[in-house]
Amino acid sequence: MENLVPFIQSALVAVAIAFGAYLAAFVAGLVLRRALNHLLGSTWSNFVANLVSLGILLWGAKIILDYTGAAGALVILATAITGAFAIGSERLAADLVGGVTIFFAKPFEIGQYVSIGDYEGDIVNITLTTTHMNSFDGSRIVLHNSTVMDNTITNLTVNPAIRITLPIAVPGSEDLEKAATVLHNCLASFEPQVRLPDYEGSVVCENVNLGYVEFQVRVFIPSTELMGPARYKLFLHVINALKAAGIQLMKS
């Protein structure tokens, strides 16, 4: 019983130091991100901030061990075990390796629109273990960095233009030649559009099925534009042009 009171006191001191270290790491990371953002960019400022935060946490763990001995070691061990059960130590190591690879290989950066496996959206944050992206439907997607590196990454904004494709089904009973002409005219009048030799829009006949023909209208827009709103704008532009020409679309 006599040894229990000092042990509890040491454990409380360890918890207090751990809280202080976490608070210091959080504040230091926040300040560094803001201070280095203009100098290094969002991606590298996050990387440096995460490293500094990790260093502060490790320094806090050393202080706990130096000043509280066994009680502090018990607190650190309990936290580590809890974390290991929560996230899995092997997965954590793989995520850290993936995070370092992302920072140095730079397959994408914050603010770019990318496709990672089955996911697509704007990159909003990159940490040592996770990548955060906003999907076109407004949802926030958080991916393990190991998952990111295990999938095919398509950076849709690294080039000056990205292509949007709009399928249009026209009944076979309509004047298909007239429909194709209207769609070609839509290309000339649609904005925003990149007008460069390597990024010319096109209208192709993708499928000929029983009762209808499927055209595809393909337009390149600046990579700074959002794909969702641009695709919807193209849809309205094409539908209104076909309606004005008296051409009916295939009913679903």
With respect to residue 97, please indicate whether it lies within any of the assigned structural domains.
no
Q: Is residue 95 assigned to a domain?
A: no
pLDDT digits (tens, 9 = 90+) for 43-58: 777 777 777 877 777 7
The mean pLDDT value of the chain amounts to 80
Higher pLDDT: 71 or 138? It is 138
Residue 155 has pLDDT above 80, yes or no: yes
Q: pLDDT: is 71 or 234 the higher one?
A: 234
Q: What is the pLDDT of residue 22?
A: 74
> What's the total number of domains in the chain?
3
Q: Which tens digits make up the pLDDT trace of 60-116?
A: 777 766 666 554 454 554 554 444 444 445 566 678 778 888 888 889 988 888 999
Please state whether beta strands 161-171 and 140-144 pair in parallel, antiparallel, or not at all (unpaired).
unpaired
Same domain? For 37 and 56 the reply is yes
Task: Write out the residue range of the structural domain in which residue 73 sits.
Answer: 4-87
Per-residue pLDDT at 77: 47
Shared domain for 211 and 140, answered yes or no, is no
User: Among residues of the chain, what percentage have pLDDT more than 70?
Assistant: 82
| Helices within the chain (DSSP H only) | 4-87, 89-105, 145-150, 176-189, 227-244
Say which residue, 35 or 11, is predicted with more confidence.
35
Q: Are residues 204 and 237 in the same domain?
A: yes
Residues 12 and 80 in one domain: yes
Are 75 and 118 members of one domain? no
183 pLDDT above the threshold of 90: yes
Whether 7 shows a pLDDT value over 70: the answer reads no
pLDDT number for residue 85: 44
Are residues 131 and 183 part of one domain? no
pLDDT of residue 3: 53
Domain at 116, CATH number: 2.30.30.60
Q: What is the pLDDT of residue 185?
A: 92
